[in-house]
């Protein structure tokens, strides 16, 4: 009797592993949907209330982030051709960029730094142009670095572990390795026959090619099944994580290295900030590579 392939998971083993994955995903959803909301205050959103002679509006980008980040003020229908000023929590802030309204009363590219001593809460921002004032609000979320750094890192690690465990449960890794080796040998043999101009051998290889490609497609389908199992739960967890931390662009980590696109400058010239999206991307890439090697899910 042929020896059983120990690396190929049995039906019962796969079912048990998938049950563990479902339990972990449910635990994440309970944590983000039921537990975190209890300890998370309702953050303020950008408003466009106005006072004064003009009926214009202003908005902040972002309207939720940590202290020390740069915020851009935009406005419409403000007093025309006027320099603007702004206060944050009742204190004057220094503005930079283009802080002169256009002839149509539009304001674009006027920036200020959120004061570095502000803690969790919602703060009024007042933009003043001529005799008119325009109100908005800025929120500092409850979870800020290093807590938010840890939350994102731990979440990416857990999600990476779920994906790798699902891969081991669904994919026959030994079969996949054999298939990859067979395809590689087939392609090499075909290249050599092509270079040698061996038409007889190429004809034989052509007859084998369809069967080889079909087997390769079957193995690839297993990887697609893993994506199908994990994609929606991982997307939901990422959405919930972004919601509770303050948004997809909220700053969750710092680096001393000025990485183009990924890391932006802060009030501290020796530190650069990394948003949730990029920190999650870097963490996921790092942990997925490490876990794949540790759990031998690469072929």
The more confident residue out of 134 and 182 is: 134
Mean pLDDT of the chain: 81
Least confident of 18-32, 159-173, 245-259: 18-32
- Helices 276-294 and 199-245, axial angle in degrees (round to 10): 130
The Cα 154–Cα 164 span in angstroms is: 15
Q: What are the tens digits of pLDDT across the range 191-235?
A: 888 888 888 888 888 888 888 777 777 777 778 788 777 888 888
Q: Which domains does the chain have, with CATH numbers?
A: 11-39+145-294 (no CATH), 50-140 (2.60.40.1930)
pLDDT, position 53: 46
pLDDT, position 148: 92
Rg (CA), the chain: 28
Q: Tokens for 281?
A: 């991307």
Q: What are the tens digits of pLDDT across the range 117-174?
A: 888 899 999 999 988 899 999 999 988 889 999 999 999 999 898 888 888 888 888 8
Region 17-30: mean pLDDT is 61
Region 59-64: mean pLDDT is 90
pLDDT, position 216: 74
Region 111-120: mean pLDDT is 89
pLDDT, position 171: 83
Least confident of 20-29, 208-217, 287-296: 20-29
If pLDDT is split at 50, 70 and 90, which confidence band does 95 have?
Answer: very high
Region 246-263: mean pLDDT is 88
pTM above 0.85, yes or no: no
Q: What are the tens digits of pLDDT across the range 67-86?
A: 888 999 999 999 999 999 99
Share of the chain above pLDDT 70, in %: 82
pLDDT, position 124: 94
Strand segments, DSSP code E, in the chain are 50-51, 57-61, 70-76, 84-88, 91-92, 96-97, 107-113, 121-129, 132-140, 251-255, 263-265, 272-275
Q: Does the pLDDT of residue 102 top 70, yes or no?
A: yes
């Amino acid at each position: 009797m042929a020896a059983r392939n120990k690396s190929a998971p049995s039906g019962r083993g796969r079912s048990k592993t998938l049950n563990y994955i479902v339990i972990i995903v449910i635990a994440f959803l309970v944590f983000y949907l039921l537990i975190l909301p209890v300890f998370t205050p309702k953050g303020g959103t950008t408003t466009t209330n106005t006072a004064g002679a003009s009926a214009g509006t202003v908005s902040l980008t972002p309207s939720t982030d940590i202290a020390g980040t740069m915020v851009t003020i935009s406005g419409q229908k403000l007093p025309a051709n006027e320099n603007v000023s702004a206060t944050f929590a009742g204190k004057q802030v220094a503005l930079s960029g283009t802080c002169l309204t256009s002839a149509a009363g539009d304001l674009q590219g006027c920036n200020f730094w959120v004061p570095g001593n502000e803690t969790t809460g919602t703060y009024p921002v007042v933009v003043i142009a001529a005799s008119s004032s325009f109100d908005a609000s800025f929120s500092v979320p409850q979870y800020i670095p290093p807590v938010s750094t840890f939350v994102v890192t731990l979440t990416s690690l857990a999600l990476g572990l779920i994906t790798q465990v699902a891969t081991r449960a669904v994919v026959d890794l030994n079969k996949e390795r054999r298939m990859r080796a067979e395809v590689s040998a087939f392609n090499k043999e075909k290249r050599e026959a092509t270079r040698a101009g061996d038409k007889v051998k190429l004809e034989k290889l052509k007859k084998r090619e369809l069967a080889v490609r079909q087997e390769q497609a079957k193995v690839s389908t297993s990887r697609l099944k893993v994506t199908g199992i994990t994609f929606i739960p991982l997307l939901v967890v990422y959405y919930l994580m972004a919601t509770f931390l303050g948004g997809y662009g909220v700053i969750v980590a710092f680096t001393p290295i000025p990485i183009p696109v990924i890391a932006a400058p802060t009030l501290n010239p020796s530190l650069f900030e990394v948003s949730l999206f990029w920190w999650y991307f870097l963490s996921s890439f790092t942990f997925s590579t490490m876990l794949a090697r540790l759990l031998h899910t690469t072929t």
